Amino acid sequence: MNTRRILTWCRRRMFLVFVVALAILGVTQVLKRLTPTYIVYETNKVNTNFQNKKACVHPTLEIWHPALMTHFKKLPPLKCAEGVNWVYVRNGTFHVNESAVGSNNVTCAYTPVLRPKGEDFKTLLGTFIKQMRNGQPIDSDFFQAKCIAANGSTYENLHSGIAYREELHRRHLERHPPDNMAALNILMFGFDSVSRMTWLRNLPKSHEYFVKTLGAVVLEGYNIVGDGTPQALLPILTGQTEAELPEARRGHKGATVVDGHPWIWREYEKAGYVTQWGEDGQGYGTFQYRMLGFRDPPVDHFMRPFYLALDQQSRKHKSYCLRSVPRHVNMLNWVSEFFDVYRGKPKFSFLFHSEFTHGGYNELQWADDDLLAFLKHMKDSGHLDNTLLILMADHGARFQAVRRTVQGKYEERMPYFGLRLPDWFSKKYPDAMRNLRTNGERLTTPFDIHATFRHLFNFTSSVDVGLANTRGISLFHEHSSTRTCTDADVDPHWCACLNWQKADRRSDVVKAAASALIAAVNSFTQPQRDMCENLALADILDAVVYRPPTSMLQFKASADNDGRYADLSDKMTSTIELYQLTIVTTPGGAVYEATVKHDRSAADGKKFTASEREISRINRYGNQPHCVATRLPRLRPFCYCRKQT
């Protein structure tokens, strides 16, 4: 009897446990349907904003930063001489412009402007041609034209073009490129002293066309490696710094000309390419101002004699002009001529303009429409169908007032650099293009550009990540996110990467930054408040603070004329710091990573700011934003619909 009672009691208890278990399971399933997913993270396992995954984080600079507004102004259009130049060059031939001379009979004399043998600082006048026929081939790249019309009016001007040279047209037949070479033309055009921000300020039309229409990639993490133009161009053109190359400085023991440097254009010449190099500002030429220059012409078409001759007759022209043609347009035309004359032949061209920007920055705006027209012409003429096009600058402003601000110091270190490849290349090498776009947001330097030029000689499309501690890495190889300025051989005072450290996520300043972030997210959905919940802070998972590097703030100038030693006596400080936050919101359990700017000098209520492009949702939102998903897809990361399905 007792045994039966015990068994009955056990069965009842087991049944009761079973019923309770079923009830708990049922309630749990109901709650799963009614309660939004909330992901709990262990703080030490959470990655902060995507930038925290990168060893080098650059600041987000403002195009129209308040501290810089007074330095930039709109200028009236550049006006050169009225009318049209009488003479022009087309496809290597001399022409008289009928629209300029009308029905007048015109006679033009032609005097070649030449480079004396072994001389980089003088010009030589060639054989005088008394009467140049219309359509006659020019026999020198540069010449002086003097014309007289039947009515007695006269014309005199300096001109440039590309003279026909049979041996250069045959070179690609006699010198075969490597079997694995990506046979692209190289066209690089640059401006002196233009940061990425200044480029956007002064060249907005051409930049938009370059990026949106041509599909160029701009390197937003491009960092200089030294002070001045030689320190910017030598790593690109030789893969080495000035200090690593043979001594070429005027007045230094053992100094010699720079002909012996390992110029990248010579490697391209060996592969059958025709080469072109030119810069204005002959008085401060990159390789002539402090250095001894070239004994022999460094390339097939070298523009220095033109600017030496122009300097001798500068009083005959308005500033920035060659009679009716702006000088920067003349330079762009010389590039177009080069591509016209050598159509179908492999080409390497690098032109560098400094007249607008060597001592200022506002005049650069005069180049925008003309650069846009040049890009459109090069595209429409088919010249970009097989060309790697690069628009670039050597560094930002170095001496102007802008440089005396914290943002100005960043801009000096972060010049504009963009690359565009033909459509066929993108389709044939999708991995290489994917790597290039990835590298657009990572640390890159002039050494990487040289490595890219060399990569084209033995081109393979690779998904491998380049070694972080390699100085020069091709842009077609993915750059490691762990790469630092030390890895890339960038001295601390030139490094624009922010310093970072962990922040106390429970501190008042972090809480204030998180509140500003929540306010920003809610502001996006405010017009749809009848549909989207007002979010609140549930937790701060992680916080990192980024500040400008001390070495950069302390850098005042180079302590020597060659830019090899730094004067670190500047007392500049910064009131700006960036907080990278990872937060959780309620309702909905959204996890956001974001950058919040903290300006310690701003008035209360404006100290913390967060922009939409700096906010990323890192967990799935599923069906939470269903009420706006179709009509307002931009709000999907931020909206938790009041009615959940």
pLDDT tens for each residue of 426-482: 999 999 999 999 999 999 999 999 999 999 999 977 666 666 668 999 999 999 998
Q: What is the CATH number of the domain that holds 291?
A: 3.40.720.10
To which H or E segment does residue 354 belong?
none
Domain-ending residue, one of 471, 494, 517:
494
User: Does residue 533 sit in the same domain as residue 562?
Assistant: yes
Band of residue 563 on the pLDDT scale cut at 50, 70, 90: low
Q: Does 620 have pLDDT greater than 60?
A: yes
Q: Which pTM value belongs to this model?
A: 0.78
Tell whether 546 is covered by a domain.
yes
Q: What is the predicted pLDDT for the residue at 46? A: 32
User: Does residue 394 sit in the same domain as residue 466?
Assistant: yes
Band of residue 400 on the pLDDT scale cut at 50, 70, 90: low
Tell whether 438 is covered by a domain.
yes
Q: What is the predicted pLDDT for the residue at 352? A: 98
User: Does residue 524 sit in the same domain as residue 563?
Assistant: yes
User: Does residue 503 sit in the same domain as residue 449?
Assistant: no
- The model's pLDDT over 189-214, given as tens digits with 9 standing for 90+, comes to 999 999 999 999 999 999 999 999 99
Q: What is the CATH number of the domain that holds 41?
A: 3.10.450.10
Tokens of 536: 């609140």
Rounded Cα distance, 486 and 481, in Å: 14
Domain-ending residue, one of 462, 494, 526:
494
Tell whether 627 is covered by a domain.
yes
Beta bridge partners of 348: 186, 275
Where does 35-118 have alpha helices with state H? 98-101
Tell whether 105 is covered by a domain.
no
Q: What is the predicted pLDDT for the residue at 404? A: 66
Mean pLDDT of 598-620: 83
Q: Does 31 have pLDDT greater than 50?
A: no
Torsion of CA 126, 128, 132, 136, to 10 degrees: -30
**Would you tell me how many other CB atoms lie within 10 Å of the CB of residue 635?**
18
Rounded Cα distance, 369 and 374, in Å: 9
User: Does residue 392 sit in the same domain as residue 471?
Assistant: yes
User: Does residue 483 sit in the same domain as residue 382?
Assistant: yes
User: Does residue 504 sit in the same domain as residue 593?
Assistant: yes
> Residue 530: which domain range?
36-57+498-635
Q: Does 219 have pLDDT greater than 80?
A: yes
Q: What is the predicted pLDDT for the residue at 611? A: 85
User: Does residue 510 sit in the same domain as residue 566?
Assistant: yes
- The model's pLDDT over 336-389, given as tens digits with 9 standing for 90+, comes to 999 999 999 999 999 999 999 988 889 999 999 999 999 999 999 999 999 999
- Closest by CA position to 412, among listed 184, 195, 157: 195
Band of residue 561 on the pLDDT scale cut at 50, 70, 90: low
User: Does residue 280 sit in the same domain as residue 348?
Assistant: yes
Residue in the block written with tokens 């405010």: 526
Tell whether 155 is covered by a domain.
no
Q: Does 424 have pLDDT greater than 90?
A: yes
User: Does residue 506 sit in the same domain as residue 542?
Assistant: yes
Q: Does 23 have pLDDT greater than 70?
A: no
What percent of the chain has a predicted confidence (pLDDT) above 90?
Answer: 64
- The model's pLDDT over 49-83, given as tens digits with 9 standing for 90+, comes to 334 456 888 877 888 877 777 888 999 999 999 98
SS3 state of residue 521: helix
User: Does residue 476 sit in the same domain as residue 517?
Assistant: no
Mean pLDDT of 558-583: 71
Domain count, the chain: 2
What does pLDDT average to over the chain? 87
Per the document, the length of the chain is 645
User: Does residue 167 sit in the same domain as residue 250?
Assistant: yes
Band of residue 602 on the pLDDT scale cut at 50, 70, 90: confident
Domain-ending residue, one of 438, 464, 494:
494
